[in-house]
């Protein structure tokens, strides 16, 4: 190296300064990352906007693209923003503009778009900027309100040729209302949109209660309110997000199971989770069905139109719609999560904010906006008052003023004369007088000026008192928030429902009496007990349910909202739900199909429904199977539930559960078979076993015989028996002697080929009624007292006339449903 370019001391070589490459890399990367964080990727907590969105909105405002003006081409807006404020590519600017116009992205769009601005499907983008048009929405003007009154700082643009706002005044908390998403260097933000009314109410509460906690504000802000509606499952993720700034919120599509005209079922999806699309769900469902990863789907049809979503999933006839729906939630975007990361710029630094901190940053900004605006208006009012005072004095000496002006050689001498004796005008007043034409000067009216000065003094006094009173400033902020809320609020779109298996919200549900009605064909509903008026004995009663033709009410349970309903099926499984999960329906409503409520298999039906609020350890359930087995298990064994049900008892091949009884200690049980045999034994003759046990023999069956009914004796004194050929009789329970469990029993009714087999038996009394339905649809309702009381060996009497091709298909006791 030559001496001219070297330093003998090893310092600067020419104009090059040697530095450590590690230090330079760290410094350069930090500068780059901070530029991305602050100037591109993260929103400001005060107005909820990133720089590109702020520049687009301000440029449109400056160009006069207001809601009452015509739309203009988006390409013109993009060009203006790129040329004046945002030194980046046109595609990035246009994408940001498009998002602010999408009503499925923002809860309250800030740009009114005209043309194709895309859809939730990521494969369907917006049309090119030269085809679309835009203008500001009325709510966007609220972000600009007062921007020309020195409410915010203006900074030079990238080349110093223009001035742009560093933040917008923002008269509503846009950060939470519309949310934000962005990826910076080493950090990201993901803020969900919220309901405007809820957020404003929480902001007002925080202004009045500065010590409020996130939990206090959650009484107002229930959770995110996504523009696409759908459901939020549970509140755990919401609570985490609002307390810490981070949380995972489970979203689920709104879907209903409908019965088709042909007796099949279909699933109709009408609302989808945020940031998913009907097309994505449709493609995923079709893929799963084609790959046989999801059984039971016959066809998928997208009936969506415009902004109305409707995806129809037709199911195969043997498919369980509840099971298919649960699999759809599990395997497709019909259920997804929104990971909240409430990260925003506060005082130039990225911070993770909880709900209180996010709204506090906004409130502090609004207080500053109101103060700066008030100071601006105060200075303007004082300046005008000073001029008006000068004009009033000018009127008092108008002739002298005019004479002075006419006698002056130039403006400078006229101004000096007005500022000197005897006028003593200030320089500002003198210049204003000189700026007026002679005609205007001579037409000055004292009354108008005096009225103006009085109004100005009132304004000055009000603004001075406002600036001296923090509570008054808070009041202005609140009143402006209320005006925005009242003008732009709309109902919540996203429902917040209990997460399956999470009943933490039960404390919010009052434990009220309920009447649950189940029909023979599998429809169920819950009603308020107030739906049934108390009647005197012998009254007509009231209609308890609207049922389909040939359907009858099979079970009526008087229970409470917090009680459990246990559904025992013929397959030996038990499903458990809370009564309040059924909702409350009108007295005459039809109810919902059990297949929409329980994950039943195609050939599975409910054999017995029981209700309980407390699982007493000394209470027992007794199970009876078609092959003559009996099992007794503690009720407490069933104090658990799973979506797909629990095994209630182990069944042998070909066996089915017939009946489940809650038995009282020291009571007797009567078991009846289709061949007319019956056995009565003590419940203590059955030893308690575990939940998954199979039981022991209740009655020894002859070839081709099966159990038809099981009755706990003692509650009623008679047994009603009905045969398949339409014959029936009443028999006293006392005519059945107590035997040892496991025997063949005794004859309960004499059967012949003409009378058919025993199809139903109930414990009754003479005042009861029964409904008998034949296979051909014939139905009769008769009183038990009209049926003969006969001995065990009798064959019964005819109660319904049937031809040789018909048989009794259903016998149901008429259960009283009026209030007692």
What residues are annotated to the active site? 131
Token readout for 417 is: 């004369």
User: By three-state DSSP, how is residue 301 classified?
Assistant: strand
Q: Which of 576, 574, 694, 588 is CA-nearest to residue 632?
A: 694
Handedness of CA 561, 563, 567, 573 (dihedral sign): positive
Closest CA to 556 of 809, 789, 813, 249: 813
- Can you state the angle between helices 355-396 and 446-467, rounded to 10 degrees? 150
Question: CB 614: neighbour CB atoms within 10 A?
Answer: 11
Residues 182 and 43: their CA atoms lie apart, in Å, by 8
User: Which structure tokens are listed for 481?
Assistant: 């928030």
**Phi then psi dihedrals of residue 529, to 5 deg:** -65, -20
Hey, how many other C-beta atoms are within 10 angstroms of the C-beta on 142? 22
| Residue whose tokens read 């990035």 | 92
Both tokens of residue 761?
Answer: 């038996």
CA gap 136, 320 in Å, rounded: 50
Residues in the chain: 820
The runs of H, that is alpha helices, within 397-469 are 398-407, 411-419, 427-435, 438-442, 446-467
DSSP percent split of the chain into helix, strand, coil, nearest 5: 30, 25, 45
Q: DSSP string spanning 360-388?
A: HHHHHHHHHHHHHHHHHHHHHHHHHHHHH
Specify the residue for token string 């078609």.
626
2, with CB counted inside 10 A (0-12, 13-18, 19+), is exposed
User: For 321, left (φ over 0), alpha (ψ -120 to 50), or beta?
Assistant: alpha
């Amino acid at each position: 190296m030559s001496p001219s370019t070297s330093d003998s001391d090893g310092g600067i070589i020419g104009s090059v300064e040697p530095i450590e490459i590690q230090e330079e890399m760290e410094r350069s990367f930090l500068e780059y990352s901070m530029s991305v964080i602050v100037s591109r990727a993260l929103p400001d907590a005060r107005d909820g906007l990133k720089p590109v969105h702020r520049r687009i909105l301000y440029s449109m405002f400056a160009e006069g693209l207001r809601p009452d003006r015509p739309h203009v081409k988006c390409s013109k807006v993009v060009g203006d923003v790129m040329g004046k404020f945002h030194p980046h590519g046109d595609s990035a600017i246009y994408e940001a503009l498009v998002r602010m116009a999408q009503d499925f992205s923002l809860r309250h769009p800030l740009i009114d778009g005209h043309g194709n601005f895309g859809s939730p499907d990521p494969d369907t983008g917006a049309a090119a900027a030269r085809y679309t048009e835009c203008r500001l929405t009325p709510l966007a003007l609220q972000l600009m309100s007062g921007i020309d009154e020195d409410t915010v700082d203006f900074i030079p643009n990238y080349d110093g040729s223009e001035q742009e706002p560093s933040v917008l005044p923002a008269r509503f908390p846009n950060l939470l209302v519309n949310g934000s998403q962005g990826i910076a260097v080493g950090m990201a933000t993901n803020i969900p949109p919220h309901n405007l009314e809820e957020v404003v109410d929480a902001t007002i509460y925080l202004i009045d209660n500065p010590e409020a906690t996130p939990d206090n504000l959650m009484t107002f802000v229930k959770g995110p309110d996504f523009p696409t509606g759908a459901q939020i499952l549970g509140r755990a993720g919401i609570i985490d997000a609002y307390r810490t700034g981070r949380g995972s919120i489970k979203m689920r599509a709104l879907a209903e199971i409908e019965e088709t005209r042909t007796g099949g079922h279909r699933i109709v999806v009408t609302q989808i989770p945020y940031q998913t699309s009907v097309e994505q769900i449709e493609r995923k469902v079709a893929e799963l069905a084609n790959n046989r990863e999801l059984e039971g789907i016959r066809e998928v049809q997208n009936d969506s139109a415009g902004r109305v979503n409707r995806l129809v999933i037709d199911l195969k006839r043997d498919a369980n719609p509840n099971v298919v729906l649960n699999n759809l939630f599990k395997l497709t975007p019909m259920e997804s999560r929104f990971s909240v990361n409430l990260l925003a710029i506060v005082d130039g630094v990225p911070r993770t904010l909880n709900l209180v901190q996010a709204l506090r940053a906004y409130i502090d900004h609004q207080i500053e906006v109101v103060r700066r605006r008030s100071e601006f208006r105060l200075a303007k009012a004082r300046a005008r008052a000073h001029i008006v005072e000068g004009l009033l004095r000018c009127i008092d000496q108008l002739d002298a003023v005019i004479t002075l002006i006419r006698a002056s050689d130039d403006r400078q001498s006229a101004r000096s004369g007005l500022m000197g004796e005897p006028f003593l005008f200030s320089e500002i007043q003198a210049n204003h007088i000189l700026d007026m034409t002679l005609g205007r000067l001579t037409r000055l009216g004292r009354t108008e000026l005096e009225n103006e000065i009085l109004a100005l003094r009132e304004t000055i006094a009000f603004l001075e008192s406002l600036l001296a009173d923090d509570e008054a400033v808070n009041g202005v902020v609140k009143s402006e928030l209320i005006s925005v809320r009242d003008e732009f609020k709309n109902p919540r779109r996203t429902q917040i429902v209990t997460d399956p298996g999470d009943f933490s919200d039960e404390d919010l549900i009052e434990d009220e009496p309920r009447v649950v009605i189940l029909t023979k064909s599998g429809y169920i509903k819950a009603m308020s007990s107030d739906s049934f008026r108390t009647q005197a004995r012998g009254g007509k009663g009231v209609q308890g349910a609207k049922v389909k033709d040939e359907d009858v009410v099979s079970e009526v349970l008087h229970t409470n909202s917090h009680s459990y309903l246990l559904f025992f099926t013929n397959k030996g499984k038990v499903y458990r739900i809370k009564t309040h999960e059924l909702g409350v329906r009108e007295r005459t409503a039809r109810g919902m199909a059990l297949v929409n409520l329980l994950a039943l298999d195609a050939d599975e039906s409910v054999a017995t429904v029981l209700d309980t609020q407390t699982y007493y350890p000394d209470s027992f359930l007794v199970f009876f199977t078609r092959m003559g087995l009996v099992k007794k298990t503690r009720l407490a064994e069933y104090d658990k539930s799973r979506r797909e049900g629990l095994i209630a008892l182990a069944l042998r091949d070909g066996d089915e559960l017939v009946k489940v009884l809650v038995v009282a200690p020291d009571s007797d049980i009567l078991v009846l078979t289709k061949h007319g045999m019956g056995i009565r034994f003590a419940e203590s003759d059955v030893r308690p076993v575990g939940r998954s046990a199979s039981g022991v023999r209740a009655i020894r069956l002859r070839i081709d015989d099966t159990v038809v009914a099981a009755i706990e004796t003692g509650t009623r004194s008679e047994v009603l028996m009905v045969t398949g050929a339409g014959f029936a009789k009443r028999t006293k329970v006392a005519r059945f002697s107590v035997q040892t469990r496991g025997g063949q029993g005794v004859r309960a009714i004499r059967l012949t080929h003409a009378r058919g087999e025993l199809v139903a038996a109930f414990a009754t009394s003479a005042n009861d009624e029964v409904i008998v339905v034949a296979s051909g649809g014939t139905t009769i309702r008769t009183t038990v007292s009209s049926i003969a009381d006969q001995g065990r060996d009798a064959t019964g009497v005819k109660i319904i006339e049937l031809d040789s091709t018909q048989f009794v298909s259903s016998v149901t006791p008429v259960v009283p449903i009026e209030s007692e």
